[in-house]
Amino acid sequence: MEKHRPDVWMLIALLGIQIFGLANILGIRPDLLKNYLLFIVLGWIAFALFARIKVPFVEQNYKLLYSLFIILLVITLLLVDPVRGSRRWIDLPFFRFQTSEFFKPFFLVTLASVLGSANRFTPRKLLISLGLCFIPFLLIFIQPDLSTALILLVSCMVMLYFSGLSTQLVIRAGLYLSAGIPLLWFFLKDYQKLRIIGFINPNTDPQGITYNLNQAIISIGSGGFLGKGMGLGTQARFRFLPEFHTDFAFASLTEQFGFIGGLTLLILFAIISVRLLRKIMIQKPQSFEYLFLIGVLVLLLLEVTINVGMNMGLLPVTGIALPFISYGGSSVISTMIILGMVSVL
């Protein structure tokens, strides 16, 4: 049986990102440091566990895993009390479980299993794959969590393309989806509409809908080249920047560690992305491993791009976490599950 050596560069980059996350939390919310350390430990346990699971076992049991998390998404919608207008979490005795985060690795596994199950792409495979994408998209959109729903949808479309879907069909599907985007406006919550309006015109309401965005930009700019130092970021320390340890953790980090700190963090994410790309290139095209790794790469790039982009005012504000930097156990453990699976490919 072939043994896979650990990807040392990926592990070094991963540890570097987690050190940045620990330093950021220590500087802005030291009271949460123990919880964050616990999330990291649980994440490495999950990494080790899923690194020992063989690919055939995952492929054979994807239906069970997918069904389990669809049930959890339904439970989240129907039985969970809303928190700030959203139904995204299931409260356990010692942990708040965000179902959409934990669904991500098993969503990628399911799609890769279905699309890689035969060498030839068929209309039946297309319909099944679209159904597997649409069900969680709808459930997560209703929570409401539009950004996560769209990330899963885009990941699905990219995996479909690399599974053998014709370019003509991809272009046609893209045009249909683009034509339907304006209709999505009528299904958005008021706060989602305001975020988009605020992004288009940042001066609309500087003390209201664009306040978070403006404060994030101030945080990044005030950090300068080298930063103010750990724990010395005034935007977070004096609570001018809302959600400074979650949605806008990147802004808090760059205020403390400056342009150099932010750039170093992005380089570490780039190293992981390049190592993923290297793994993709040595896989058999349209195989489970090939498609799963593509899904992981797309997911990671989207999360980093969207979170950093919104912190810099380049994209609308969303609730997408920056892996290992935004505070949250579900995101940490879910990402470590994914990387654990990647480590054996």
Report pLDDT digits (tens) over 24-60. 999 999 999 999 999 999 999 999 999 988 777 877 8
- With respect to residue 298, please indicate whether it lies within any of the assigned structural domains: yes
Q: Which of residues 316 and 181 earns the better pLDDT score?
A: 316
Q: How far apart are the first and last CA of the chain?
A: 13
C-alpha distances out from residue 162 to 67, 155, 178, 290, Å: 25, 11, 20, 9
Tokens, residue 61: 């049991």
In the chain, the number of structural domains is: 1
Q: Look up residue 263 and give its amino acid.
A: L
Q: Note the pLDDT tens digit of each residue in 58-87.
A: 778 888 989 999 999 999 888 887 777 778
Checking if the pLDDT of 140 tops 70, the result is yes
> Domain for residue 1, yes or no?
no
Looking at the predicted structure, is the pLDDT value of residue 133 above 70?
yes
Q: Please tell me the predicted confidence (pLDDT) of residue 266.
A: 97
Please give the residue range of the domain that contains residue 326: 8-343
**Residue 162 within any structural domain of the chain:** yes
Query: How many CA within 13 A on the CB side of residue 190?
Result: 2
The pLDDT-based confidence of 1 (bands split at 50, 70, 90) is very low
Helix intervals (H) in 143-282 = 146-162, 167-184, 190-200, 211-222, 234-237, 249-281
Instruction: Note whether residue 249 is domain-resident.
Output: yes
The first and second tokens of residue 340, run together, are 């654990």
Q: pLDDT digits over 309-322, tens only?
A: 999 988 888 889 99
Q: Is residue 56 part of a domain?
A: yes
**In this structure, is residue 153 part of a structural domain?**
yes
* Cβ count near 49 (within 10 Å): 12
What is the band of 120 on the pLDDT scale with cuts at 50, 70, 90? low
| Global confidence as pTM | 0.91
